[in-house]
Amino acid sequence: MTSALRQSGKERKMGKALIIGAGGVAGVVVHKCCQNSEVFTEICIASRTKSKCDALKKQVEEKGTKTKVTTAQVDADSVPQLVELINKENPDIVINVALPYQDLTIMDACLETKTDYVDTANYEHPDTAKFEYKYQWAYREKFEKAGITALLGSGFDPGVTGVFCAYAQKHYFDEINYIDILDCNGGDHGYPFATNFNPEINIREVSAKGSYIEDGKWVETEPMEIKREYDFEQVGKKDMYLLHHEELESLALNIKGIKRIRFFMTFGQSYLTHLKCLEDVGMTSIKPIMYEGREIVPLQFLKAVLPDPASLGPRTVGKTNIGCICIGKKDGKEVHYKVYNCCDHQECYKEVGSQAISYTTGVPAMIGAMMVMTGKWKKPGVYNIEEFDPDPFMDALNKWGLPWVVDENPQIAAKLIQNWLLTGGGNDGRNRGK
């Protein structure tokens, strides 16, 4: 079943979105879709727990919106349930802000119903802490034949970071040789230990081995092995650590001239100390254990006792700073370039009731869905976000709450090169793999 808008084949300016998920990021997506009622004339919020969907519906309706909001219950692990729901609701696009374990079932349902798809993070196997795109890229031909679009990684990182790089490539470079993605959360929630998004996903990501791409090969490091200090705009000096991150894989393929691409994220000492203790006693393990006659996964139990990230909004203060540093060439000359966004936790909470980490993910999810629905990024197949024209997305970031800044200060760039950006090379890594 397809909507009238999809059947028309014309550029679509308004329609219906099915939002799967009801956590912190989903809450932002719902609020921003309802603010953008000219495009999202109707939304349906669906998750395993319908009461959470109903609570979100109540929030946006109390604020006032022209968007029609409905709710539904669905098990996102069940393709038949998803297909039934999509056929019933007849959306123009499915926005997947559920768990990354569920990406493939939702994509399968979109294929069966010929419905466009967008997500914010790549597929993860529930039993293996490994983050790669091959499982979703395997759907390319199927989506192309079905005449529908799958937009992968329309969050902030991945997501906006990819658009930042595509924008730099289009307007500032002939080729980009070095990219460093820097993710800084300068916020304080007051808890000794908590995660800013799904604890299970966050801890799996941080506990995994680090890696980056150099000269077309993966360089693997031990978890949190490589540390750098960086003075972030509007935040100050923070320790940041090299992590594996999924956008490295796609950007290395889609950005011309890449010699090395890395990802760094900031962590406070309290977070790292608590995480180390939890690791040492086995609480971050994803391997099931038997307890009182039943099988449990320690990390899932830990998730249950940690603060819900959606509850952090009212108590989180400070700012985020996320951006990309690019070094490359234009007209034979070396070019230094940085583009970033700063986001205030309390301002986000005032607007949509969430902290900035959820906000910076949810806003791009709405924008990516809008790009596909309006036809600006409508193309049959499976695509990472940097494969489309970045200009309309960059314009939308400024309009919908994530304004960005470009810094071409050569002194800053020269200092970065001298101190850490181009030093170390493969010596930072211990094993070359993948």
152 and 164 assigned to the same domain: no
103 and 37 assigned to the same domain: yes
Residue 239 has a pLDDT of 92
Nearest of 289, 265, 261, 262 to residue 275 by alpha carbon: 265
Phi, psi (rounded to 5 degrees) for 108? -60, -45
22 and 138 assigned to the same domain: yes
Q: DSSP character for 419?
A: I
Give the residue numbers spanning the domain of 91.
4-156+359-391
Residue 414 has a pLDDT of 43
Greater model confidence, 305 or 396? 396
CA dihedral 220, 262, 346, 206 (to 10 degrees): 0
- HSE value, Cβ hemisphere, 13 Å, CA-based, for 109: 30
Nearest of 107, 91, 25, 38 to residue 67 by alpha carbon: 38
d(CA 131, CA 231): 29
Residue 417 has a pLDDT of 45
Name the 3-class secondary structure at 413.
Answer: helix
Q: What are the pLDDT digits (tens) for 136-184?
A: 999 999 999 999 999 999 999 999 999 999 999 999 999 999 999 999 9
For residue 272, CA distances in Å to 78, 183, 187, 235, 325 come to: 36, 16, 15, 19, 26
376 and 276 assigned to the same domain: no
Structure tokens at 44: 């349906």
Residue 123 has a pLDDT of 92
Residue 431 has a pLDDT of 40
Residue 189 has a pLDDT of 78
Looking at the structure of the chain, the number of domains it has is 2
214 and 119 assigned to the same domain: no
Q: Would 229 be classed as within a structural domain?
A: yes
Determine the distance from the C-alpha atom of residue 81 to the mean position of all C-alpha atoms in its chain, rounded to a whole number.
25
Residue 245 has pLDDT above 60, yes or no: yes
Do the Cβ atoms of 151 and 143 come closer than 8 Å?
no
299 and 239 assigned to the same domain: yes
Confidence of residue 330 (pLDDT cuts 50, 70, 90): very high
E strands, 58-206, where?
Answer: 68-73, 93-96, 116-119, 149-152, 175-185
Q: Would 121 be classed as within a structural domain?
A: yes
d(CA 67, CA 369): 15
233 and 348 assigned to the same domain: yes
Q: Would 177 be classed as within a structural domain?
A: yes
DSSP letters for 362-375: HHHHHHHHHHHHTT
CATH, residue 86: 3.40.50.720
181 and 84 assigned to the same domain: no
Do the Cβ atoms of 144 and 107 come closer than 8 Å?
no
CATH, residue 199: 3.30.360.10
150 and 271 assigned to the same domain: no
Whether the upstream peptide bond of residue 158 has omega within 30° of 0, thus cis, is: yes
142 and 180 assigned to the same domain: no
118 and 223 assigned to the same domain: no
Q: DSSP character for 192?
A: S
366 and 328 assigned to the same domain: no
Q: Would 396 be classed as within a structural domain?
A: no
- Between strands 15-20 and 40-47, the pairing is parallel
Residue 419 has a pLDDT of 52
Phi, psi (rounded to 5 degrees) for 237? -75, 130
Q: Would 113 be classed as within a structural domain?
A: yes
Which CB contacts under 8 angstroms, 24+ apart, belong to 192-197? Answer: 192/270, 192/274, 193/270, 193/271, 193/274, 193/275, 193/306, 194/306, 194/307, 194/309, 194/312, 195/306, 195/309, 196/309, 196/312, 196/355, 196/357, 196/358, 197/24, 197/25, 197/309, 197/357, 197/358, 197/361
Q: Which amino acid is at 75?
A: D
Q: Would 134 be classed as within a structural domain?
A: yes
Residue 199 has a pLDDT of 73
Greater model confidence, 197 or 323? 323
Q: Would 226 be classed as within a structural domain?
A: yes
CB-count exposure of residue 344 (10 Å: 0-12, 13-18, 19+)? buried
Q: Would 227 be classed as within a structural domain?
A: yes
What is the share, in percent, of the chain residues with pLDDT greater than 70? 90
Q: DSSP character for 381?
A: E
What is the arithmetic mean of pLDDT over 337-363? 95
Furthest CA-CA distance within the chain: 68
For residue 412, CA distances in Å to 205, 329, 419 come to: 30, 17, 11
